[in-house]
Amino acid sequence: MNLALFILSIILMAFNLVWIISFTPMVPDQEWAQKIFYLHVPLAWVGFLSYFVVMLSGVSYLGSRNLKHDRLGHASAEIGTLFTGLVLITGPIWATPIWGKPWVWEPRLITTLILFLIYVGYFILRNVGLYRQRVALICAIVGIIAFLNIPIIFASVNFWAAEIQSHPQMGMSKQPSGILAPFLFSLFAFTNLFFTMLFFKIRVLYSKDKKDNYV
């Protein structure tokens, strides 16, 4: 099952890459830089999805105190943090030629950075040497609280005054035709990759817990 999912992920990502490079339209003024959008936005989406899974598994852990929910949360948080980190790297790569500078202190960037830093804290907590069940309990609570930041990131372009926003808005209708289909496909390919990574990481964590006699 996992191997089939892994092979499917490779095929989807290869197809995704070919589509992005060869068959997506060039946007005037941005040219190749705009194609970063096909990586950047799906990465952000998967990052948010994984933090949603962390929140759900946190709630499940608090209800059941079963370590399998903690493993799910841990696996999802790791992938989410990797992807959010990639969002924070690919964003400035796009912004350097388009905005003329890699970073501006505007709401969506700041709230995303805060989310990333909260999860850096989450992994520090996981490694401070508390006993296993205590770590699981604290991380479940942190995972639930950290998720509150996600709606703030989504709404950040509306929360604060328009003049301090330099972020492109979400209106896909303003984009040239031919962008939507590859964008949705890229979302699908990255979501599939997320589930592949998630199942694999859960297996790694299960195996570690088994070795440490927690299972």
Where along the sequence are the contacts to another protein (CB under 8 A)?
17, 30-33, 35-36, 39-40, 43, 79, 82, 85-86, 89-90, 93-94, 96-97, 193, 197, 200-201, 203-204, 207-208, 210-211
Considering only CA atoms, give the Rg of the chain.
19
22: which 2 tokens? 């060869």
Q: Please say whether the dihedral angle defined by the alpha carbons of residues 161, 84, 92 and 17, taken in this order, is positive or negative.
A: negative
CB of 11 vs another protein, minimal distance in Å: 15
Alpha carbon of 208 to those of 15, 200, 211: distances in Å?
A: 34, 13, 5
As measured in angstroms, the least distance from the Cβ of 164 to another protein is 25
Specify the DSSP element, H or E, that contains 106. none
Cβ closest to another protein, residue 81 vs residue 156:
81
Nearer CB in complex with another protein: 61/94 = 94
Quote the least distance from Cβ 54 to another protein, whole Å: 17
Judged by beta carbon, residue 49 or residue 144, the one nearer another protein is 49
- Residues 6 or more apart in contact with residue 50 via CB below 8 angstroms: 76, 77, 79, 80, 83, 194, 198
Q: How far apart are CA 190 and CA 178, in angstroms?
A: 19
Min separation Cβ 55 and another protein, Å: 22
If the CB atoms of residues 97 and 168 are measured against another protein, the closer one turns out to be 97
